[in-house]
Copies of this chain bind each other. A is one copy, B any other.
Amino acid sequence: MAIGNSAHTTLPLNQRRFNMTHPSSYETLSVRSDRGVLFVEMFAPPMNLLGPALVRDLVSVIENLQSNDSHRVVVFSSRDPEYFISHVDVTKVAEYREAAAKLTGEASIGLLFRHLSAIDTISIAQIEGRARGAGSEFALACDMQFAATETAVFSQFESALGLVPGGGGMQHLVRTVGRGRALEILLSANDFPASLAEHYGWINRAIPAVDLAKFVESLAMRIAAFPSAAQAAIKGRVNAVALASPDDFRTDSDLFGKLVREPAVQLRMKRAVQLGFQSREPERNLGELLDNLDD
């Protein structure tokens, strides 16, 4: 599986955005390669749900990054300006978990995301739109997170459905934002705009939407030009302290897997879907929607 290669393109950014028609073997991703940076744009209509197709493609990208050293940095963004990754597709839990197992041998999104955090390739999440549930967890699994001030929204809403974040969000948040803020995020199931997410330390920085892509590209290319051995050593030393163990990820993932099969949780998810959960328009204000699950 070859990664699309348009190295050293000189198209302006806005043209690149709508011009990624080069052949690619990905169903949900467009990729562009430029001076050691792989730009990966996610597009899984209608709302970038993390289902089997997107997981399968992310597994392929990671395998490609590891199989050769042509890309030192990978940037993940979304073609959909309203949804970075909305969350997992709750109607296809078994399928997307199975797709994740192809890389790690375990049917767990948490362990897939941890794998991304642990490889030498440096990953940057460039977030426009909603990053809820596994979308937030994917961003946290990246090495850095930069989000559009005006449009990015973060949430770990699992508790509203009777679930826990199974993709590592609890592990990252408690270590990054502290106990009180982690519990607020995890128990309130609320939407957090980019500015508050930055204030809490959930992400590196909120950046005006108009500047975001240029900021991330410039940072990614700068990093890609520096020597790799030291970078791998740095990432290893940071992960030794800040990246939770596989066991911690596995425990969270198993908790999710156990709760998601409970009849009461199934009923609650069904009720949520009836109210618009997993639909593009109603999820714009998912935080509010979740307030009405008991009505």
Q: A: which residues have CB within 8 A of B?
A: 122, 140, 142-145, 158-165, 170-172, 174-184, 186-190, 201, 203-204, 219, 222-223, 225-227, 229-231, 233-235, 237-239, 241-244, 251-252, 255, 259, 262, 264-265, 268, 291, 293-294
A175 touches B251 (CB 8 A): no
B180 touches A230 (CB 8 A): no
B291 touches A234 (CB 8 A): no
Chain multiplicity (copies):
3
A241 touches B171 (CB 8 A): yes
Interface centre among A186, A201, A238 (most CB of B within 10 A): A238
| A295 vs chain B, min Cβ distance (A) | 10
Interface centre among A161, A223, A234, A243 (most CB of B within 10 A): A234
B259 touches A237 (CB 8 A): no
Q: A180-B176, A225-B294, A226-B162 are in contact. Are A187 and B237 (CB under 8 A)?
A: no
Query: A184 CA to B143 CA in the complex, in Å?
Result: 8
24 residue pairs of the A-B complex, CB under 8 angstroms, read A143-B183, A144-B181, A145-B180, A159-B226, A161-B230, A162-B226, A163-B230, A164-B234, A165-B234, A172-B179, A174-B241, A175-B178, A176-B180, A177-B201, A178-B242, A183-B235, A184-B219, A188-B223, A190-B222, A201-B201, A222-B291, A227-B268, A237-B251, A241-B244
B204 touches A237 (CB 8 A): no
B264 touches A143 (CB 8 A): no
A184 touches B170 (CB 8 A): no
